[in-house]
């Protein structure tokens, strides 16, 4: 056994102990489902900033996205572009989402859509799409840790054993997600975010400087590294544009991302968080892409571009590689934990049958579901260790599907005339057509100029929603109700009100 494994795995133990101690000292158990789902809507802008980043940028940012830049160059910069546009969208969403969230005690994205459209069907369809699309990404997140623990073992364990160890570690980390809910996730995000994007970003910068001083400058790369797909290219002129558009809109359709808006104190807190997140996203993303491109000429990277971070960090010795490992681990903890907590809440809050006599759900139900999902996803990660490529195809198809929530979500928030019938018709049409188009043209659609399947389906989705909403407009009563919702936003009215999404009713308090 290589003695360096004590450094690699020892760093993981230190990280786990630090996270556990901080959460046990600062977090507290939730007494209600609302508190479990939103953390009491109590977090300030810095916590909101880091919660957004640690959920938005998963551990695969250091692996797959870095690998894309190492193999294809500036096209990888699209992750920075759509992240910055998503931050702008976050600023815009802040007021309506926060005001409606406080006024109606909303806990999930599907909850908000159910209230906006006064429709249980809208809420269930949105929740089901979000749940089904998110689960494969939890399994993939767990699988990605196999690479981390393989490198941190310094050859002392097999790749399969490394995967099992990684899955076991992340499953243990979910103890605090189960115990503390959103409050534990957000506080954990602060710790993990500092490690992943603070220390990890500094490590990337240091490796970039070392590569440049060692003669691995961008001048050693071919012209293809500095070319974006355009008209006449193999991928098509609309390929890059549709990637950015799908990333920007689709990002806020993921349940774990959207729920971050409900954990902040107010709309102004969210807006301040967006202002803080923008430069951090830009700096981290730019350094990551430049590092990956510079490392493309480093020995061993071309053969395994997804391993670029570990290959370069390994040149610095066991300590440097251990730091790289815990950066990826911290980012993965944040994304997987947020997904599990969000899906547990969705199942308990939106998907399980509910009647007037059911009353308020206990947070114990959500905790039980999160625990079951943790066990299930961990088992899936181990069982499908040899079929990763198939799982990746499912996960990629799920991204094409999740973006189909965008028209119902954004038209519902910003357009008064959007109706429940239009929202349901659009979501179902978009989700089905996205999956079909992806199975036929998984990369891009040649006869649509290289447009990706999700964006093509998104256009059809939008046309259906707008058409149905105009052909079957609101009744006079519904129009009055929607006007009151939008007037709340204009007047910045947080006053609590009873939800009208029958048959579920509850009274919220600010």
Query: What is the model's pLDDT at position 507?
Result: 36
pLDDT tens sequence across 156-165? 998 889 888 9
d(CA 35, CA 407): 29
d(CA 414, CA 200): 38
Check if the beta carbon of residue 55 is closer than 8 Å to that of residue 255: no
Query: What is the model's pLDDT at position 381?
Result: 82
Query: What is the model's pLDDT at position 204?
Result: 97
Query: What is the model's pLDDT at position 360?
Result: 64
d(CA 316, CA 322): 10
For residue 374, the SS3 value is helix
Domain count, the chain: 1
Mean pLDDT of 221-243: 85
d(CA 238, CA 444): 9
For every residue of 97-111, DSSP letters joined together read HHHHHHHHT--SHHH
Lowest mean pLDDT among 56-60, 94-98, 286-290, 315-319: 56-60
Query: What is the model's pLDDT at position 393?
Result: 61
Look at residue 420 and tell me whether its pLDDT is greater than 60: yes
Is position 442 within any domain?
no
Which domain range does residue 339 map to? 5-387
Look at residue 417 and tell me whether its pLDDT is greater than 90: yes
Q: Shortest CA distance to 465 belongs to which of 125, 49, 235?
A: 125
Is position 467 within any domain?
no
Is position 14 within any domain?
yes
Query: What is the model's pLDDT at position 237?
Result: 86
CATH for 174: 1.20.1730.10
Cα three-residue angle 121-56-102, rounded to 5 degrees: 50
Count Cβ neighbours within 10 Å for each residue of 421-447 and write b for 16 or more, e otherwise.
bbbbbbbebbbebbbebbeebeebbee
Mean pLDDT of 250-274: 93
Mean pLDDT of 150-170: 90
Query: What is the model's pLDDT at position 364?
Result: 84
Query: What is the model's pLDDT at position 191?
Result: 95
For every residue of 453-473, DSSP letters joined together read HHHHHHHHHHHHHHHHHHHSP
pLDDT tens sequence across 429-459? 999 999 899 889 887 898 999 899 999 999 9
More confident of the two residues 497 and 228: 228
Tracing tokens 């101690």 back to the chain, one arrives at 21
d(CA 131, CA 282): 30
Look at residue 288 and tell me whether its pLDDT is greater than 80: yes
Check if the beta carbon of residue 350 is closer than 8 Å to that of residue 111: yes
Is position 282 within any domain?
yes
Please, which pLDDT band fits residue 504 given cuts at 50, 70 and 90? very low
Is position 293 within any domain?
yes
pTM above 0.85, yes or no: yes
d(CA 414, CA 489): 10
Mean pLDDT of the chain: 89
Q: Shortest CA distance to 35 belongs to which of 172, 185, 173, 175?
A: 185
Cα three-residue angle 344-420-33, rounded to 5 degrees: 25
Q: What percent of the chain is modeled with pLDDT above 90?
A: 62
| Tokens representing residue 160 in the block | 């399969």
d(CA 392, CA 141): 11
Is position 400 within any domain?
no
Farthest CA pair distance, the chain: 74
d(CA 394, CA 407): 23
pLDDT tens sequence across 359-385? 566 788 888 999 999 999 888 888 876
Please, which pLDDT band fits residue 308 given cuts at 50, 70 and 90? very high
Q: Shortest CA distance to 180 belongs to which of 367, 420, 438?
A: 367
Q: Shortest CA distance to 437 belongs to which of 397, 403, 406?
A: 397
Query: What is the model's pLDDT at position 508?
Result: 36
Query: What is the model's pLDDT at position 354?
Result: 62
Check if the beta carbon of residue 286 is closer than 8 Å to that of residue 80: yes
Mean pLDDT of 177-206: 94
For residue 420, the SS3 value is helix
Tracing tokens 């006599």 back to the chain, one arrives at 357
Is position 497 within any domain?
no
Query: What is the model's pLDDT at position 379?
Result: 87
Look at residue 387 and tell me whether its pLDDT is greater than 60: no
Q: What percent of the chain is modeled with pLDDT above 70?
A: 93
Look at residue 14 and tell me whether its pLDDT is greater than 80: yes
Is position 183 within any domain?
yes
Beta bridge partners of 43: 264
């Amino acid at each position: 056994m290589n003695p360096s494994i004590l450094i690699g795995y020892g760093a993981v133990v230190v990280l786990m102990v630090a996270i556990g101690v901080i959460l046990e000292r600062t977090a507290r158990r939730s007494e209600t489902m609302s508190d479990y789902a939103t953390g009491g809507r109590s977090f300030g802008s810095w916590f909101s900033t880091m919660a957004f980043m640690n959920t938005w940028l998963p551990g695969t940012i250091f692996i797959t996205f870095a690998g894309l830049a190492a193999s294809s160059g500036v096209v990888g910069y699209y992750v920075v572009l759509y992240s910055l546009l998503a931050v702008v969208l976050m600023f815009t969403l802040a007021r309506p989402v926060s005001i409606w969230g406080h006024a109606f005690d909303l806990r999930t994205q599907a909850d908000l859509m159910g209230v906006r459209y006064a429709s249980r069907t809208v809420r269930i369809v949105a929740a089901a799409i979000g749940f089904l699309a998110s689960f494969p990404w939890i399994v993939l997140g767990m699988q990605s840790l196999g690479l981390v623990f393989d490198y941190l073992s310094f050859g002392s364990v097999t790749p399969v054993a490394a995967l099992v160890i990684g899955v076991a570690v992340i499953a243990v980390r979910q103890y605090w997600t189960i115990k503390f809910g959103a409050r534990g996730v957000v506080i954990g995000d602060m710790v993990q975010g500092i490690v992943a994007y603070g220390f990890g970003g500094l490590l990337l910068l240091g490796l970039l400087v070392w590569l440049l001083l060692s003669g691995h400058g961008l001048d050693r790369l071919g012209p293809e590294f500095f070319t974006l797909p355009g008209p006449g290219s193999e991928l098509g002129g609309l390929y890059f544009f549709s990637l950015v558009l799908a990333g920007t809109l689709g990002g806020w359709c993921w349940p774990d991302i959207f729920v971050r808006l409900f954990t902040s104190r107010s709309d102004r807190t969210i807006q301040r968080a967006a202002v803080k997140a923008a430069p951090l996203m830009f700096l981290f993303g730019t350094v990551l892409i430049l590092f990956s491109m510079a490392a493309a000429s480093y020995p061993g990277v071309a053969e395994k571009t997804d391993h670029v971070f570990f290959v370069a960090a390994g040149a610095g010795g066991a300590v440097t590689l251990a730091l790289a490992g815990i950066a990826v681990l911290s980012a993965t903890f944040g994304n997987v934990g947020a997904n599990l907590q969000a899906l547990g809440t969705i199942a308990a809050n939106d998907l399980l049958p509910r009647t007037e006599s059911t009353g308020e759900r206990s947070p114990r139900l959500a905790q039980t579901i999160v625990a079951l999902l943790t066990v299930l996803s961990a088992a899936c990660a181990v069982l499908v260790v040899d079929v990763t490529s198939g799982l990746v195809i499912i996960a990629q198809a799920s991204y094409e599907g999740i973006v189909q929530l965008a028209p119902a979500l954004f038209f519902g928030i910003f357009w008064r005339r959007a109706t429940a019938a239009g929202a349901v018709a659009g979501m179902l049409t978009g989700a089905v057509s996205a999956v079909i188009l992806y199975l036929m043209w998984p990369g891009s659609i040649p006869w649509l100029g290289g447009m990706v399947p999700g964006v093509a389906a998104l256009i059809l989705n939008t046309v259906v929603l707008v058409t149905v909403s105009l052909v079957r407009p609101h009744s006079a009563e519904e129009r009055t109700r929607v006007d009151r919702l939008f007037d709340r936003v204009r007047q910045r009215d947080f006053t609590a009100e009873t939800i009208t999404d029958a048959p579920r009713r509850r009274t919220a308090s600010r």
